[in-house]
Structure formats: structure tokens, C-alpha cells
Structure 1
């Protein structure tokens, strides 16, 4: 795992909050706390992307029966888009 560091300024109240979360045993250290916040944000962004894709699909028009032919057509279109 790469160990890149970042430096940034925080208001004192935020630093105190982070220190309290670490002190109460919720996190081992400040870095662990920040990594967990980033992972949580990544999950939330992925979930939002999925919700957006579902909404786009629902708004895309009339539904089609998912027959083998339709699935094959969609697979071909998807693979062709990468080419």
C-alpha cells in the first residue's frame, strides 16, 4: 500500500472533534478516521451513480422483454462501445 501524505488546515473545532473520535476508541488514529470518511463517501457516490443509472433506465422509454435475443443485442452493443 502506497503511503502518500497530505497536509491541510482544519478549524480548531474540527480538529478537536477528530481527536475526540480517536480518543473514545472509535478509530485508532486520525488517518484511520479520515480513510473511513473517504471510503464512506466513495460508497455513497457509487450508490448515487447506481440510482442515477436506474432512473435513466426507467426514463428511457417503454420496457422490453429481456429475451435471449435482446440480451445478446445489448451485450453486443456494450462490447462494441468499448472498441
Structure 2
């Protein structure tokens, strides 16, 4: 495992250290690794949402009315009107 040194303001350093003191993390490195993992997941979700938005924009504008769309949704869900 590689080592990385970072500089933090005193307030942030205290916060990181407190996360390991309260028992949720075994040390500051565990806390920072968890933050990075969460940020990676968040970034993947944002990228996926952007991809979906791009696909939606590229699909064009529908001529269907909202009633048409809801009927199609109800039919797919097996809901009778």
C-alpha cells in the first residue's frame, strides 16, 4: 500500500482524529479511505445520471401527451384503470 502525506488545517485534523477516537474507524487512514470510497461511488452515480440525461436529450421530444405516458406506465405496471 502506498503512503501519502497531506496537510490539513488544525480543525480538520482534529475532526479526522476524532473519527478514529469514537471507534467507528481504527485510525485516521481508515477514515480517509472511507471518504475516498464514498466519493468514488458518488462520482460514479453522477456520471451515470449524466449519461442518462444525455441519452434522454438525444432521444428527442415526444409527441405523446401526459395521459398517453401515464397509460403506458399503468399498462407496464399491470394497473387497470
Same fold (TM over 0.5): yes
Unaligned runs of 5+ in 1: 64-83
Cα shift at 1:8: 1.5
Residue 20 (1) aligns with residue 46 (2): no
Alignment-derived partner of residue 29 in structure 2: 31
Cα shift at 1:38: 0.3
What is the TM-score of this pair, normalised by structure 1?
Answer: 0.69
Unaligned runs of 5+ in 2: 62-81
What is the TM-score of this pair, normalised by structure 2?
Answer: 0.71
Alignment-derived partner of residue 68 in structure 1: none
Cα shift at 1:26: 1.2
Aligned residues: 61
Cα shift at 1:62: 4.0
Q: What SS class does the counterpart of residue 58 from structure 2 fall into?
A: coil
**Root-mean-square deviation over aligned CA pairs:** 1.3
